[in-house]
Amino acid sequence: MKGHLPRDPVLLAFVLVVMAFILAPLAVAVSIGFSSSPFLVFPPPGLSTRWIARFLSDPEFMASLRVSLILASVVTVVAVLGALMLAFGLAHLRSPRLKAVLSGLIVAPLVFPVVVLAVGLLLLLAEIDLLGSPVGLVAAHLIIVVPLCLVTIQAAVDRLNPEIASAAASLGAGPVRVFATVTIPQIWASVVGAGLLSFLFSLNDVTFAAFLGGPDTQTLPLKLFGYVRYRLDPLVGAVSAIFVFTTLALIVLADRLVGFDRMLGIRRA
Amino acid sequence: MTGPRRSTLALSALAPGLLFLAVFFVLPVLMLVQISTWTFEPGALMRPGFTPAHYVAFLTDPFYLRKLALTARVALVVTCITLVLSLPLAYWLVRARFAGKGLVLGLVLSPLLTNFVVLVFAWIVLMGDNGAINQTLKAVGLPALKLLYSETGVVIALVHISIPYALIPLIAAVSQVGDDLEAAAMSLGASPWRAFFAVVLPLCGPGLGAAAFVTASIVLSGFAFALFVGGDSVLIVPLLIWQQVSKTLNWPLAAAMSVASLGIMLAMLALGMWLARLLGRRIAA
């Protein structure tokens, strides 16, 4: 096409600058994690893994990492199962208006400012004596993560061809068998993608943890929150490096499984 | 499967999720509104009652009014910059054709999937008085900038974290604008940029509205960024709310501040969208 805008040099330069702005802070944080210096110097004077080793041998950080991993796993399993039930429930509603109202309601927490939600949950959890408990924090994460999973899974469920399932049923397969052998294989990529999103959200959340956390919910982000307030050394960079590399690995995995373009509804080139 | 049975099945699959939503989303929001009118006593935390005192304090006290104005300004600036930076990027991500696009999308969205500590730490290293940015400025003979613990620094950090969130609705919006419309505009003699501004931009209106909403929400939640990048010099409302919750323990005031700031945010967004529509009609005419 003559003068095709996506290849316009001005647009391309603009896009590259914005992408550099998005990625530069991540690169800076990671590079300091591998610094050989005891101070925060950028660029680092030399490379070493001493700060990574220091982090991995710190019992308090490791304990909070364990709390975070357990919490994120519970949140992920419950959220994916919950979102699957919601997606199929919504798909089988006969009234399109009811379906639109209910989906809107379920997704509403996503557009609420998280701090406002956190204050509301603080008041509720204090009332029912769950403030500072792991159960309370799991519930708080689910309020955000279930809609996130639903959006991802619903796109795949709505694309399902119901005739394939009824063909299997007419050949004698029971509903459970149809679901396990016909439906799940068609949507599993979106289920894995939803699971990755919920795991990362729960692992990274600091807002709910700071508002609703207690001694039993000292997650890694909350521990780091306290650490950064009083001390700044390359150890935080080492944690950053671990976080960034884990996230990148999961992003590559998610892209292989689902494709971010498909998750966002972009047609493949 | 027969009709009624199908509906019963659908409703029973929805019931647990909807019940959970009612208890942990609808109920907390209602409690927020109710408790924002309760009285606060330093010893007893809070007591049921009905008083507009917290709203009056938040909306008339000069200290709070200054912080409210600061928050509104930060939200407005962050939202405008984020939209201007994100829409061309979203457009390019949808329309450009290249291998490994999924991966590029993942990278662009990665700040949304990493820990806030990573970003806060990077901004402290980059924006400190002797940080990487000021070292570079000094090296080329330019005056140093006050970035860390300044409003500018908080705006930069909030724009950075908002871009990936804004991209999601914008990408969806651009995907829905068929490229045949642009091609038609160009075949009628419009330049590619003219086609972008006259065809793509107006059709992305709802997407831009959603992106503005999400960005404003992030500013209203950005207490961690305000705390570490802004410190005591950029006390935006979410940071004040957190201080009320964790230090002063004045929960009714925290609730009133949440409700009031959410209301103000919604009013500002409605006003912004009304102005944008008015402006769009003026240009079209």
Q: What is the pLDDT of residues B154-166, one digit of tens each?
A: 999 999 999 999 9
Smallest Cβ distance to B105: which of A146, A248, A261?
A261
* pLDDT at position B89: 96
Q: Tokens representing B89? A: 């990027």
Taking an 8 Å cut-off on Cβ atoms, the answer to whether A85 and B241 are in contact is no
Distance of CA B282 to the CA centre of its chain: 28
Q: Which residue of B24, B130, B194 is the best one to mutate when testing the A interface, meaning the one whose CB has the most A CBs within 10 A?
A: B24
Per-residue tokens: A56: 């991995």
ipTM of the complex: 0.90
For tokens 């330049």, name the residue: B191
pLDDT at A225 over 50: yes
Q: Which residue ranges form the domains of chain A, and what is each CATH number?
A: 5-263 (1.10.3720.10)
Residue A58 Rama label (left phi>0; alpha psi -120 to 50; beta):
beta
CB-CB contact of A86 with B17 (8 Å): yes
Compare all CA atoms of chain B with the CA of A12 and give the residue at the minimum distance: B92
Cα end-to-end span (Å), chain B: 54
Q: pLDDT per residue over A104-120, tens digit each?
A: 899 899 888 999 999 99
- Mean pLDDT, to the nearest integer, of A2-25? 87
**pLDDT (tens digit per residue) in B181-201:** 888 888 888 888 888 888 888
Q: What is the mean pLDDT of residues B62-68?
A: 95
Closest CB to B28: pick one of A21, A86, A121: A121
Between A40 and B18, the higher pLDDT residue: B18
3-state DSSP percent of chain A in helix, strand and coil, to 5: 80, 0, 20
The residue-averaged pLDDT of A61-70 equals 94
Per-residue 3-state assignment (H helix, E strand, C coil) for B166-196: HHHHHHHHHHHCCHHHHHHHHHCCCCHHHHH
Q: Could you say which of A94, A221, A237 has the minimum Cβ distance to residue B7? A: A94
Distance CA A257, CA B213 (A): 31
Fold of B51-284: MetI-like fold (1.10.3720)
Domain spans, chain B: 51-284
Q: What six digits make up the tokens of A177? A: 């068998």
Q: Are A238 and A55 in contact (CB under 8 A)?
A: yes
pLDDT band per the 50, 70, 90 thresholds, residue A1: very low
- Across the interface, do B89 and A269 touch by the CB < 8 Å criterion? no
Q: Do B116 and A204 touch (CB under 8 A)?
A: yes
Report cis status (omega within 30 of 0) of the bond before A43: yes
The string of pLDDT tens digits covering residues A73-103 is 999 999 999 999 999 899 888 888 998 999 9
- B255 and A112 in contact by Cβ < 8 A? no
Question: How confident is residue A252, by pLDDT bands cut at 50, 70 and 90?
Answer: confident
Angle, CA A22 vertex, CA B68 and CA B176 arms, to 5°:
90
Looking at residues B13-32, what average pLDDT do you find?
Answer: 94
Q: What is the DSSP letter of A109?
A: G
Q: Would the pLDDT of A268 be above 60?
A: no
pLDDT tens, position by position, A18-64: 999 999 999 988 888 888 777 777 778 888 888 888 899 999 999 99
pLDDT tens for residues B250-275? 999 999 999 999 999 999 999 999 99
Give the chain B residue whose CA is nearest to the CA of A222. B117
Q: Do B224 and A210 touch (CB under 8 A)?
A: yes
pLDDT of residue B3: 54
Question: Closest Cα partner for B258 from A114, A140, A93?
Answer: A114
Give the pLDDT confidence score for residue A265 in this predicted structure.
65
Q: Which helix (H) or strand (E) holds B40?
A: strand B39-41
Closest Cα in chain A to B220: A113
Q: Which residues of B touch A101 (CB under 8 A)?
A: none
Residues of B in contact with A203 (CB under 8 A): 115
Residues from chain B that touch A32, judged by Cβ atoms under 8 A, are 121, 125
Local structure of A224: helix, strand or coil? helix
Per mean pLDDT, which range of A152-156, A239-243, B255-259 is the poorest? Answer: A152-156
pLDDT of residue B88: 95
Q: What is the pLDDT of residues B200-242, one digit of tens each?
A: 888 888 899 999 999 999 999 888 899 999 988 899 999 999 9
